[in-house]
Amino acid sequence: MAIALCFILFACEKELKVDYPDEPSVPVLNVFFTPDSLWKARLVYSKMKTDTSYRPIKDAQLSIVGDDGSTTILHYTAEGYYQADIFPRAGVRYTIHALLADGTDLSGTSFAPEEPNLSVVSFNSAWSTYLFDADLMDYSVMPVYVNISDELATANLQFRFWNAFPKWGRDVNRYFLSSDSLVVLEQKGIPASVINALLPLTDQWQMSFYAFEAKLNNIPEWLNYSSKYENILRATMQTQPETDPRAFDWHKLSIFSLDGWLQNVGNNTSAVFGTCRQAGQANLLLSDDNLKWRMERNAPDERDQYWLEVRNCSPAYFRYTQDYMLQVSQRMNPYAEPVTVYSNITNGVGIFAGYNRQLIKLMDY
Amino acid sequence: MNPVKIQRPHCLGLLFCLFVSIGTCLGQSFTVSGYVTDAEPGERLYGAAIQEQQSSSGCVTNPYGFFSLTLSAGQRELNVSYVGYQKQIYRLRLAADTVLHIALKSDNTLEEVTVRARQADSPEAISGMKRIDMKDVRSLPGFLGEKDVMKSLTVLPGVSQGYEGSSGIYVRGGSPDQNLILLDGVPVYNVSHLFGFMSVFTPEALQHVDLYKGGFPARYGGRLSSVVDVHMKEGNMYKPHSSLVLGPVSSEFMHEGPVVNGKSSFLISGRRTLLDLFVTEGARLAQMNNDEKIIPGLNFYDTNAKFNFYINPKNRLYISLYKGGDRLFSEYSDRSEWTTGVFDENQTKVDLKWGNTLAALRWNSQVSPRIFVNTTLAAGAFQYGIHNRYSSLHTENKETDLNKATVDYQTRIATHSVQVLADWYLANGNRLSLGAEAGIHIFQPGKRHVLNSSGITLDDGNQEVRTIPLAVFVEDNFAFSNQVHLNAGLRYEGEFVNEHLFNQVSPRVNMNYRLTENWQFSASLATMFQPLHLLTNSSIGLPSDIWVPATRNIRPETSQTASIGIIHNFPGQLRWSGELYGKMMHDVVQYKAGHSFMDLAKDWEQMVYQGKGRAWGFENAFDYQDRQVKAWLYYTLAQNQRQFDELNNGNYFPYKFDRRHDLNVGFNYKLNEKVSFTTMWVFQSGQAANIASGDYPVMGEIAEDSAYDPVFGFELRGWQPIDLTPHYNAVRLTSYHHLDVEAIFTRQQKKSTREWRVGIFNVYARQNAYYYYPYVRKNGTRGYKQISILPFLPSISYRLTF
């Protein structure tokens, strides 16, 4: 008996033709506010998937009214941004109104909670391995214990772990060389050519020691004895830690928790969220393979800083942030049910939400 | 000696007794009962009509071929008929209760095949019910020549398939979990092979399939939308018979025959794919000398066995067995040598297995001339497992460092039940059915064990849950006259879950009115109860769906369905039937936003919403059949919606498989006894999809700069905006359609029949989307890509019966 088999199977891939419904653009109002930042809002129109940029709304009237009787008017700057030179206050419930030229009135209400004021009880460099169940990957983690006071017993909290490294041309400290101290340097044997090069940099804070090095590296006398002269120069300068976050590049690191009330969102590892049920302790696991590697080899980099950020979130902020992270986390999973991100803006979309933040420096390493 | 003289009073007395006896015999009623079977192979026929010529009293056989008719004593002539069989006339002198075994001969002459309104009390008089014989299944062109029962159901109005290739069916707005699929009375929980392109039912082993889309008799329960009652053949009681099918995807073999001629029979069948022999071994050979190897594999199999024992004229025993499964695996290995003596060897093995195991023991017993009892003991299970193994070996100067990791996942559902059903023929045209069921369901919704390379273990998942289903029902089939028939019933069903009882009383009514020979009307109402849910959102036929029980947090599903229908026979052989239906569903489930079956081992109750569904539709069926031509046009206009408080601002939205128009046009032409052609065109409106039509910016400080799925490896880079979807499932994908053709060449020989089938699936290579995913275009905008896997597909297959 003769058997003939014919089997052809191949896959074709092409652009999916989607018949999008004819939906008009929607005004988008985005405001996060916190007591340590000036009021700033962004007002644009949403775009279709086929467009590449958002159309800013330039001619709206934005006002923020607080239940403390305050009224703040925001002024347009550029690219859809509006701002005011006023800081929000914690505990005040604010309502924003954005009146567009076509008469549409967007509004939203929220408040900024009090600052978290948590304290780190302890952390140690006892590294262990944590298996994250969302992606089944191993993470090297070290435990950190944080104290939660009674005031935060029902708060919505978000924790993040950051690595801060000074931006190029900046340092972890600022440096000040007074013109008066040049005499001291001369007395200590610093050559005149070096003194003359330093003169323009005196009596003003410099962002980095490199500002001085750049001037001095062309001077042969300096180069011949640079380590000896640098020690003298550093001992003469005043220094203070750089506190402006904009001076650093901030990198999100991974964070987890073994507490049931604190959880990651989807397969995102950059934050844990949770609503406190009672005062006590939060047990966090911080992960950075680079830090672990350097600790094991006792090879610190003094310019590297590690910070724990805690945000006390308003309900709107808490929900919006988690929805967004979940939507992005599942965006490439073709099987996940779609996520609609929370919006508290009437007559539009977006968010008006307050939070309050605490940054706790864990270590320099 | 004087003769004995019979006194006159005694004579009168004797005569009186004689006349009284005769008179008594003439006025008495007796019951004629028995079975109607196919003359060969001896299969029992459901719905055969038995009518007494003089009185016009009649009945039809029940699903087990049993009938019971009460007639007056005397000369009686019974007409026995069944579609596709020669009519038989039985003449008998009825003087006592009589048992008959009537064997009907098959009728191949097409003059007997007429399209006509069904007898008022026949099975198909039930609104929404359709019987499909295996010859109908074999007459349809199939995917790569494969004949499939579930695919053939999607031809019918009101029944649609989901995605390209899916074997899940969507009946009148319902979802695949809302279909009660039975194989010889045992529930089948997953009917997919080969990613859903084929079902687990081996056509050569089957007798027929009954589909109920509405008008559900009270004997059925546990699901909302349909009953697919698949019956295996019983085995040829008189002579052995075999068939062999060789196809491009799978091959099957069936053998049946008597154990004791006329008393007992058996049937065994097996089917297996041959794909892995080519794909897997071909890959091994081609990559034999490679450092990096990827060896895929895919296979599936089905085995069926049926045993049929005739104990005595009133008792019969059946045993049905099924076991089948799929395996999908992939082995990846690579070896990299860096320098002499330093190399890495990595190996990944992914192994997915799933399958069903079913068993049923059925006892038919004629307790009295008017009472027939069927007792069924059934056991069925479906399980799905993933077993992944990873290993990494680093060798440096003869020192080795081995890392291993394993992931094991399993989900399972099993049912053990007993059902007793009694058919009591109260009077001619009035059959009362009483029944009770009890059993146990065992759910293992998903359990995971992970051992990673650091030696850390993770055991999570859901605990096993056992529930106890119970049901009692009463159902009356009552023919008021030859024109009016009523099937009315009441079903009480309950489910004990963790000491809590969920229960419902479900009324069922189905009425059929034959106005004339050419006009028939029907109407039905049914309430259904479903104490278990299927968590699903996968778009391909992987068994990633999880069966879970109703709980206090996630309640059972219920529905109410109503329909009215009309059948009209036009002059000639053309018939039209139309049916309008409406359905409300309550407590249907859906995964919550951001969740999917990929959340393998989380607490499932935290991952779903419950809401409502509503559907309506107007089904039209035009059928034409004569000696050479069979044609059909089935069209359904329908709407299907869901509502969840948490989605779409609590408003109703289109269900994913809301397809407004569903059209199936087919034509079968028999050129002669040796050659026939079939062509079929399928069209369905595009399904609804929840694809974002726009987006807006997120607040910069929390913006994520990439979106990555670690399982599938898809990644988007760049600051991620927020997707804007003003209305849920508002986008419509492109319509689905394809044209299939097939030619059948038959050669009848003395002891065998050979058949070649040459076909083309999707003649004009329509690229219907099987699967879609997001990606970033070169201009930075986000779009979607679709994958189509079934363009122009020719096939050839061979069937031998002997």
- DSSP string over B20-33: HHHHHHHH-EEEEE
Assess B144–A contact: CB distance below 8 Å, yes or no: yes
Q: Does A20 reside within a domain? A: no
Contacts of B792 in chain A (CB under 8 A): 8
Could you say which of B697, B709, B767 has the minimum Cβ distance to residue A14? B767
- Using the predicted structure, report yes or no on whether residue A194 has a pLDDT greater than 60: yes
Contacts of A44 in chain B (CB under 8 A): 696-697
Assess B734–A contact: CB distance below 8 Å, yes or no: yes
The span from the CA of B148 to the CA of B168, in Å, is 12
Work out the pLDDT band at A365, boundaries 50, 70, 90. Answer: confident
Across A327-353, b (16+ Cβ under 10 Å) vs e yields bbbbbbbbbbbbbbbbbbbeebbbbbb
Q: How many C-beta neighbours within 10 Å does residue A269 have?
A: 21
B29-38 and B74-81 strand pairing: unpaired
Assess B609–A contact: CB distance below 8 Å, yes or no: no
At A86, which CATH number? Answer: 2.60.40
To the nearest whole percent, how much of chain A has pLDDT over 90? 48
Per-residue confidence (pLDDT) for residue A295, from 0 to 100: 85
**Same-domain status, A286 and A229:** no
Residue of A nearest to B729 (CA): A338
Q: Amino acid letter at B601?
A: A
Rg (CA), chain A: 27
Contacts of B791 in chain A (CB under 8 A): 10, 12
**Shortest CA distance to B524 belongs to which of B537, B538, B511?**
B511
Work out the pLDDT band at A361, boundaries 50, 70, 90. Answer: confident
Q: Does A75 reside within a domain? A: yes
As given in the structure block, the two tokens for residue B486 are 């009523």
CA B93 from centre of chain: 44
B767 with A12: Cβ contact below 8 A: yes
**Same-domain status, A276 and A333:** yes
Contacts of A323 in chain B (CB under 8 A): 593
Q: Does A15 reside within a domain? A: no
B715-717 and B661-670 strand pairing: unpaired
B315-339 and B292-312 strand pairing: antiparallel
**Mapping DSSP to helix (H, G, I), strand (E, B) and coil, where does residue B788 land?**
strand
As given in the structure block, the two tokens for residue B525 are 């109402």
Per-residue confidence (pLDDT) for residue B123, from 0 to 100: 52
A331 with B246: Cβ contact below 8 A: no
B601 with A330: Cβ contact below 8 A: no
Q: Nearest-CA distance from A338 to chain B in Å? A: 5
Residue of B389, B458, B696 best to disrupt the A interface, most CBs of A under 10 A: B696
Q: Amino acid letter at B793?
A: L
Top-confidence residue, A223 or B714: A223
Average pLDDT, chain A: 87
pLDDT along chain B (802 residues), means of 10: 43 47 60 88 84 83 88 88 86 87 76 38 64 84 81 91 76 93 94 85 91 93 95 90 89 93 92 84 85 88 94 92 93 84 86 94 93 96 91 84 86 96 90 96 90 82 92 92 89 93 96 91 96 76 78 95 94 92 96 78 84 96 92 96 93 93 94 93 90 84 65 65 87 90 92 92 88 75 78 88 89
Give bridge partners of residue B574 from the DSSP assignment: B624
A131 with B785: Cβ contact below 8 A: no
The span from the CA of A155 to the CA of A233, in Å, is 49
Could you say which of B450, B696, B785 has the minimum Cβ distance to residue A13? B785
**Same-domain status, A64 and A202:** no
Could you say which of B710, B733, B795 has the minimum Cβ distance to residue A18? B733
Contacts of A7 in chain B (CB under 8 A): 144, 248-249, 275, 278, 795
Contacts of B716 in chain A (CB under 8 A): 331-332
The span from the CA of A165 to the CA of A242, in Å, is 11
A267 with B454: Cβ contact below 8 A: no
Assess B747–A contact: CB distance below 8 Å, yes or no: no
B798 with A321: Cβ contact below 8 A: no
Per-residue confidence (pLDDT) for residue B763, from 0 to 100: 92
**Same-domain status, A260 and A336:** yes
Contacts of A17 in chain B (CB under 8 A): 733-734
The span from the CA of B78 to the CA of B92, in Å, is 8
Contact at 8 Å (CB) between B219 and B185? no
Terminal CA-to-CA distance of chain B, rounded, Å? 82
Q: List C-alpha distances in Å: A50 to A20, A336, B46, B751, B787.
A: 10, 23, 59, 66, 21
Per-residue confidence (pLDDT) for residue B165, from 0 to 100: 65
A6 with B274: Cβ contact below 8 A: no
Cα pseudo-dihedral A254, A352, A349, A325, rounded to 10:
10
Q: What is the pLDDT of residues A106-123, one digit of tens each?
A: 999 999 999 888 888 777
**Same-domain status, A187 and A205:** yes
**Same-domain status, A163 and A254:** yes
User: Helical H runs in B128-173?
Assistant: 134-139, 149-153
The span from the CA of B62 to the CA of B44, in Å, is 10
Assess B451–A contact: CB distance below 8 Å, yes or no: no
Q: Please, which residues 150-209 of chain B have a Cβ atom closer than 8 Å to chain A?
A: none
Q: How many CB pairs under 8 A join A and B?
A: 235
**Same-domain status, A180 and A289:** no
Could you say which of B544, B595, B788 has the minimum Cβ distance to residue A12? B788
**Same-domain status, A181 and A208:** yes
**Mapping DSSP to helix (H, G, I), strand (E, B) and coil, where does residue A100 land?**
coil
CA B36 from centre of chain: 26
Q: Nearest-CA distance from B596 to chain A in Å? A: 5
What domain count does chain A have?
3
All structural domains of chain B with their residue ranges: 16-113, 129-690+725-801
**Shortest CA distance to B761 belongs to which of B312, B198, B61, B125?**
B198
Q: Does A270 reside within a domain? A: yes
What would the CATH number be for the domain defined by B16-113? 2.60.40.1120
Domain boundary, last residue among A225, A241, A257:
A241
A46 with B694: Cβ contact below 8 A: yes
Angle, alpha carbons A149-A155-A160 (nearest 5°): 90
Could you say which of A49, A135, A268 has the minimum Cβ distance to residue B694? A49
The span from the CA of B723 to the CA of B718, in Å, is 14
Q: Using CB atoms within 10 A of its CB, is residue B343 exposed (0-12), middle (13-18) or buried (19+)?
A: middle
Could you say which of A19, A32, A138 has the minimum Cβ distance to residue B454? A138
A3 with B708: Cβ contact below 8 A: no
**Same-domain status, A141 and A78:** no
Cα pseudo-dihedral B168, B169, B173, B177, rounded to 10:
-50
A340 with B695: Cβ contact below 8 A: no
Give me the residue label for tokens 């026979």: B569
What domain range includes position A266?
119-167+245-342+355-364
The span from the CA of B572 to the CA of B629, in Å, is 13
Q: Does A124 reside within a domain? A: yes
Q: Nearest-CA distance from B720 to chain A in Å? A: 7
Contacts of A319 in chain B (CB under 8 A): none
A333 with B538: Cβ contact below 8 A: no
B593 with A3: Cβ contact below 8 A: no
Assess B597–A contact: CB distance below 8 Å, yes or no: yes
Assess B753–A contact: CB distance below 8 Å, yes or no: no
**Same-domain status, A82 and A151:** no
**Range B129-690+725-801: architecture per CATH:** Beta Barrel (2.40)
pLDDT (average), residues A350-354: 96
Q: Nearest-CA distance from A247 to chain B in Å? A: 16
Assess B725–A contact: CB distance below 8 Å, yes or no: yes
Q: Amino acid letter at B567?
A: I
Contacts of A162 in chain B (CB under 8 A): none
Contact at 8 Å (CB) between B415 and B379? yes
Contacts of B782 in chain A (CB under 8 A): 49
Q: Please, which residues 618-647 of chain B have a Cβ atom closer than 8 Å to chain A?
A: 647
Give bridge partners of residue A224 from the DSSP assignment: none
Q: Does A13 reside within a domain? A: no
Per-residue confidence (pLDDT) for residue B442, from 0 to 100: 96
Contact at 8 Å (CB) between B331 and B348? yes
Could you say which of A323, A325, A332 has the minimum Cβ distance to residue B714? A332
A333 with B711: Cβ contact below 8 A: yes
ipTM for the assembly: 0.83
Residue of B702, B716, B795, B796 best to disrupt the A interface, most CBs of A under 10 A: B702
Q: Does A348 reside within a domain? A: no
Q: Please, which residues 269-328 of chain B have a Cβ atom closer than 8 Å to chain A?
A: 274-275, 278
**Same-domain status, A186 and A324:** no
B593 with A340: Cβ contact below 8 A: yes
**Same-domain status, A181 and A288:** no
Assess B113–A contact: CB distance below 8 Å, yes or no: no
